[in-house]
Structure formats: structure tokens, C-alpha cells
Amino acid sequence: MLRTVLAAAACLSLIAAPAAMAAPGVSSKLAADMPSGHYVIDKTHASLTAKIAHMGFSNYTLRFTGLDAAFDYDAAKPSAAKVTASVDPASIDTGSVPFNGELSGGKWLNAAKFPTISFVSTALTLTGPNTGKLTGDLTFLGVTKPVTLDLVWNGFGSGMMPGTRTGFSATGSIKRTDFGFNTYVPIIGDQVDLLIEIEFTKK
């Protein structure tokens, strides 16, 4: 009986808890609600996955773990947001250390000569309440080309630590031959599909 009473009291206390005690997470998906400011990547909650056709047998998937990114945001002008991002090509992760070394070498990503893949946004077009197209200049293997990503804004709110957190999902594709990356085309696919999941915190 006592155990039942204590359990009921605990449930009532949770129901009656003030808003400040609410679990952390997304509190709004309205862009105008998100505070203006400078946002930086949370590297523990960010991933870049790439997919490429392998001889017709599979769509081979790999990821890059060395990511950096930031953006400046004005709630009065969401489409004016400016995004910068960089990827360390030597951080490629296929699940095989020897293969990682081969792909980051001179025949493929040539990370020693070109240690950074960079992206600088040039335009953000809003296509819905929480969707858009982010266009920017991608520099890869020393060649710069425009790239457009389909963007989904997942909202903002509080994280496990004090402060404002926000997150995005993005997809896009590039043709590696546009950047002079011709190794084994067309046996290994030309098109590279990109999937990005990334969180930021406000500074």
C-alpha cells in the first residue's frame, strides 16, 4: 500500500513540475523563434556519410569523422544565414584501417596535398517552414564548384547542458569528375551521394 501511495505521489509531482523542469529537446520548429547569434558544431553529434556505386555490386558507404562547421543567424532574416564547413579527408572511415589509408592516399583523396575539403555558403532559399536549399562553393582537390544541399531544419531547444541547441539534416550529391577526381570512373561511380546530420550550439 505504501509503495502504491509513493508511486502515485511521484507521478503527481512530475505532472505538476514547472516548465523549467521539462526534459531537454526541441521546443520550436519556427525559424523566427530561434535566437540570433553565432552557432558552432557539436562534433560529438555530427556525421557526414558518403555513398558511391561500386562496380554495380553495391552502393558503398563510408563516413568522415573530421568535421568542423559554424553559421551566423539573424532571426529577422533567416535566408541570410552564412554557413562555413570543412572536412578532413584523412578522417575517412570505412571500417578498415588499411583501406582508410589507401583512400586518403594520392590515388584517391590525396589528403597530404589537399588536407581540407571546404564549403562556404552563398545562398539559402527557404522552401517551407523548416526546409530549404543551401547553395555554396565546395573546394575539393583544389577545385571549387557550386553545390546545392537539400536542407531540413529539425528545430531548436535546450540540450543536456545550458544553452541553445539546433540541428539539421541535409542531402545532396556531387560528380567527382567535376573536381578532377577520375580514379576508376565509371567502374567506380562518378556520382557521390552525401548525407549530413549535424547539431550546433549557440555561443
CATH 3.20.20.70 given to domain 24-202: no
Give the span between the Cα atoms of 51 and 192, in whole angstroms: 6
Give the dihedral sign, CA 184/186/191/194: negative
pTM comes to 0.86
pLDDT confidence tier of residue 24, bands split at 50, 70 and 90: confident
Whole-number pLDDT of residue 14: 37
pLDDT above 90 for 30: no
Residues 6+ apart with CB under 8 A from 126: 31, 78, 79, 132
DSSP letters for 77-133: -GGG-EEEEEE-GGGEE-S-HHHHHHHTSTTTT-TTT---EEEEEEEEEEEETTEEE
Give the dihedral sign, CA 39/81/124/190: negative
Residue in the structure block whose three cell numbers are 589537399: 114
Q: What is the mean pLDDT of the chain?
A: 90
